Structure 1
Amino acid sequence: MNALSLFVIKIFKCLGSLYGLCCLGYVEVGGMRLFVAVALGLLMLCGSGCSYEKILNEFVSNDELAFSEHYFDKFREKNFEEIVKPLNSNLIVEDLHSQLAQMAQFFPADDPMKVEVVDWAITYKDGNKQVGITLQYEFKTSWLLANINFERAKDDSFIVNGVHVRPAQGSLAEIYKTKVYQNNQIYYLAILVYIAIPIFILITVVYCLRAPIKKRKWIWVVFILVGFGQISINLHSGLVNINPLGVYLFGVAFMSPTKYGPWILIMTIPLGAILFWVRRTAMIERNDPRFGKLPEEADSQDRAGLTE
């Protein structure tokens, strides 16, 4: 990864804190200093420090993680009898043993050097918790990705609904670290637009709060803070996805679908900010007839008003 890529990733990790600090500023409105979105800024500052492990532990319990690791230990031990016991009855087919044996062959005889969770998902169906966990195994000479999907019944028993094992070329961290989308023009343009959108929104909010607009000012502020229409750019593959129904605060976001997955930039159209600048002059003129006139014209109107 080049120096620019490393720098950009560091920017992504700090943007939550940056936005939080920006929101802690104040503006002058009617002689009173109003703090702008202090609570939101503090929330972002706190949220930016959440690690992958902390979030994982909030949703996946220790016994669920332990069950996943112990279940794949049975594959290393080739203990097919214990593997079959928690399987959903729908998975019991004629060639089940050959399928399990094929997955077991991927596991070396030696103990893994490292096992970590690289992806997980939680859903609920008929009141039961559905858990999906992907483990990355590091052995001396190979890497494996093992995925298990199981259901936690109301009696706390586990029912396995799916198991998949496949070899990996290496650590996902290294794979996604060393392969960044190489189209530099699109890459740099995306970064510039990504940084410009929230700056444009924040500046517009300040101008909106300072403008002599009497009606619906706070509705405008909320409208400006939100971006509409989602454009997602995968920095690993360059894949672009468009979702016209996307709505994001500050107009941007970034995410990684897995622990070591590719970074995805999410940008929206700052529609509220654009419309504010289009309507700004007309709204101010309705509240202040002197706005936009030459000083001589404004003074003349004041004197005419005083003589009446």
Structure 2
Amino acid sequence: MKLARNLCLGLCALVLSGCNFNEMVAGIVPDDAKPMLAELIAAVSDHDLEAFRPYLNPEIDQAAIEAALPQILELLPEGPPQEVKLTYAYLGASATLNAGTQRTLATVHTLTWDEQVLMLRLEMTSDETGVWVINRFRFTTPTPEQVATPPAFSELTLSHKIFGVAAILVPLFVLFTLIAMFRTPQIKRRILWTLFILIGCYPQFAINWSTGAWWLASPTIQTGESGASLNLIGFLVFGASILREGIGPWVIAVCVPIGALFFWYRRMKGGPTRKTRLEERVES
């Protein structure tokens, strides 16, 4: 019962943390990068892009920087933005024999003026010294698709309703299965069953909540200018996720909980439990 209670509390905390999306995104940014980001945003508000120079990667062509800064200043409306939001953040790490350990940080800040919205995209790296350098930064104007608003309740299609219900029921079903698995006596390979139920959710489907368009997210074949790639693996913990990049549309992803379904199938077939000592003696 104690484990089941902790699982319920953990799920509730996960749901509640998702209610404040901006705070969740801000938590991805490491502490040593936050002062630099604050200084850069203040520089944009003051139309002083010279503050970017100390943080730029020295390998970047200086002539390109001199040509780009005036063009960027022309894009900025007069006066400071009325609202600044950190709407996307990605933090990664890699280790190579030549460069050692390196962190990668990508962020998107949405800056809103009275009649214009701009997105500041930053791509930074930090080596073992802990110093962050900017490899790329640019301002973009969001496309109509990126600022698409969610439909009203009366405008929801059948796809919206199916994905909306599945995004709620699938995690609850996975959680219920975990509780049932831990309450099942004499369970065999309890740790493996826990992992299988949690991440054994496949294939993955996704829907653009603004347009209602849905697709098979994994497995899928992705095509681009450089060619085609096959995406075979795409698992989700608890079988569902809600993501948003920048001010773009919400994307809801739902998986088939094959791990949880297989557990109930095995349970109906009499497993997966250990035999008691009495049963072993009777068989022998």
Q: What TM-score does the superposition give when structure 2 sets the normalisation length?
A: 0.66
Task: Measure, in 2, the Cα distance between the counterparts of 1:236 and 1:49.
Answer: 23
Q: Tell me, which stretches of 5 or more residues in structure 2 are unaligned?
A: 95-99, 220-231, 276-284
Structure 1, unaligned runs of 5 or more: 1-33, 288-308
The aligned residue for residue 168 of structure 1 is: 142
Q: Deviations over 1:98-127 (max 9, x none)?
A: 322222110123222222211122233534
Aligned length: 246
Q: Is the 8 A contact 1:137 1:144 kept in 2?
A: yes
- Please provide the CA RMSD for this pair: 3.9
Counterpart in the other structure of 1:13: none
Give the letter for the 2:140 counterpart.
R
Higher relative contact order (CA 8 A, sep 6+): 2
> Residue 40 of structure 2: which of 44, 64, 68 is its match?
68
Alignment of 1:37-52 (within 5 A): 37-50=4-17, 51=20, 52=22
CA distance in structure 1 between the aligned counterparts of 2:55 and 2:244, rounded to whole angstroms: 29
Q: For residue 149 of structure 1, what is the aligned residue in structure 2? A: 123
Displacement, 1:262?
2.9
Residue 81 of structure 2 contacts residue 113 of structure 2 at CA under 8 Å; is this kept in 1? yes
Structure label with greater radius of gyration: 1
Classify the secondary structure of the residue corresponding to 2:114.
coil
Secondary structure in 1 matching 2:245: coil
1:166/1:268 Cα in 2 relative to 1: closer, same or farther (>3 Å)? Answer: closer
The change in CA–CA distance for 1:209 and 1:72 in structure 2 (over 3 A counts) is closer
Q: Which residue of 2 aligns with 1:106?
A: 75
Contact kept? 2:159, 2:214, Cα under 8 Å: no
Structure 2 CA distance for partners of 1:266 and 1:67, relative to 1, 3 Å: same
* 1:178–1:85 CA distance, 2 compared to 1 (3 A): same
Identity over aligned residues, as a percent?
16
Distance of aligned partners of 1:191 and 1:179 in 2 relative to their CA distance in 1, 3 Å threshold = closer
Cα 1:67/1:270, change in 2 over 3 Å: same
Letter aligned with residue 74 of structure 2: Q
Tell me what 2:108 maps to. 134
The equivalent position to 1:59 in structure 2, one of 4, 17, 29, is 29
Task: Tell me: CA distance 1:121–1:35, structure 2 relative to 1, closer, same or farther (3 Å).
Answer: closer
Match of 1:20 in 2: none
* Partner residue in 1 for 2:233: 245
Kept after mapping to 1: 8 A contact 2:56/2:134? yes
TM-score by length of 1: 0.62
Question: Structure 1 residue 229 and structure 2 residue 202: aligned?
Answer: yes
2:55 is aligned to 86
* Structure 1 segment 137-286 matched on structure 2, within 5 A: 137-152=111-126, 157-168=131-142, 175-178=147-150, 184-198=157-171, 200-201=173-174, 216=188, 218=190, 222=194, 223-224=196-197, 227-234=200-207, 235-237=209-211, 238-240=213-215, 241-243=217-219, 244-250=232-238, 252-258=239-245, 260-283=247-270
- Of stretches 110-119 and 49-58 in structure 1, the one that deviates more from structure 2 is 49-58
Residues 44-99 of structure 1 show CA distances to partners (whole Å, capped at 9, x for unaligned) of: 2233333332551463333132233145357x24x55x544432233215444332
CA change 1:214–1:68 in 2 (3 A) is: same
Q: 1:276 to 1:254 in 2, by over 3 A?
A: closer
* Residue aligning to 2:229: none
> Taking structure 1 as reference, are residues 283 and 242 closer, same or farther at Cα in structure 2, changes over 3 Å only?
same
